[in-house]
Amino acid sequence: MRKHWKTLIFAAMTAAVLSCGVSAFAVSDVHATVYLDPVFVEGREVYCWTPLGKQTDYLSYNGTTYIPIRTAGEWMGKNVAWDEASKTITLSGTSEKVYHNQTEYEADDQTLEKLRNEGMTVKLRDDIKVVVDGKTQDFKNAKGEAVYPIHYNNMNYLPVRNIGELLNMTVKYLPKTDRSQSTIFLRTALTDAQVQEGLNYVKALQELESYQNATLPASLVAKFDARTNAVNQQGVAASKSMFQCFSSVWDQVTLEESKAFTQAALSSIQKMIDTPCPDLAVLSAKHAEMVTAAQDALTAFQKVQAAIDAGKDATTIAQMLGNDSSGSSSACSTVDYVGAAVNEMYTVLSESYTRQS
């Protein structure tokens, strides 16, 4: 009889555990690593900050990349709350979405190096419940397997893929290759037509930089062609940017060629600013960066035009346009920031990434 009662008690306890959803590893120590490769959200390369405004890294465990709950709330535009008694993370309400740039790390360099080389012990927490706008969430990875929050350094972390899905964003992971880092892209879903519209815009900006589409003296075009052919013969695809080309031959140009180039540059940069950008969230941040950089470049070339109008000599004008060895930035080098923003637009539209690791 006593044996029978023990059996009944054990069965009842087992049923209670199962009904409450408590597993054998509700809180268990596991080994995680730092995820250092790029993460893009709506066209921005984004970073995680602690409550103290210091940068911290993404974490990776068992093939899943994690972000601090604070970062998740910032991306989602939600207020974050933690209830210790019920072990519940709540994301609710509406707040301004925040995407952070790089800043100073909270940890010192020695600690960072150790963590990045050796990883760290984190707590896997399947006892934590996540509620978003009143709805309890069950997170799964790309294979459909259950994934759970993790806890590290007094912060709870959530899977980045699931946060993207809660934002109704597409989530794409590019694995590491011998030419590039792995990359994660989160963005509002785009139709093929929208992607093509964005790519057409990027192409239009790139064509405005090309010397082959600018009104330039034949003598200057010949110098650009010679430079381009020389680079191509080395097995490297030469840039057709008139700004990069001028920077390579600035010490070979005449005053008349510099004058014509300055006028072409002013026209090209203004057209970049004026060309309408498609209304796509994934482009908005980089478009704003491009316009700001283009306005700075326009100011630089306007200063060159003022020097031309003041009767400065050929060497002075050419140096202002293309010589960076004197310790000050040339007008042409200011356009590098424009080109970088345009290239980033292509990256987030095509969801490709080729930065060397």
pLDDT band, residue 26 (cuts 50/70/90): low
Q: Are strands 183-188 and 39-41 parallel, antiparallel or unpaired?
A: parallel
pLDDT band, residue 90 (cuts 50/70/90): very high
Average pLDDT, integer, range 74-90: 94
Per-residue pLDDT tens digits for 110-154: 999 999 999 999 999 999 999 999 999 999 988 899 999 999 999
Average pLDDT, integer, range 53-78: 94
Q: Tell me what percent of the residues of the chain surpass a pLDDT of 70.
A: 91
Instruction: Label residue 107 exposed, middle or buried (CB < 10 Å: 0-12, 13-18, 19+).
Output: middle
Q: State the pLDDT at residue 101.
A: 94
pLDDT at 352 over 80: no
Neighbours of 75 (CB within 10 A): 23
pLDDT at 81 over 90: yes
Residue 271's nearest CA partner among 188, 342, 193 is: 342
Provide the token pair at 340. Answer: 């970088």
Q: State the pLDDT at residue 43.
A: 92
Per-residue pLDDT tens digits for 241-276: 999 999 999 999 999 999 999 999 999 999 999 999
Q: State the pLDDT at residue 353.
A: 56
Q: Are strands 48-49 and 27-35 parallel, antiparallel or unpaired?
A: unpaired
pLDDT at 20 over 70: no
Q: For the residues of 275-320, what is the DSSP string, one character each?
A: SPPPS-HHHHHHHHHHHHHHHHHHHHHHHHHHHHHTT--HHHHHHH
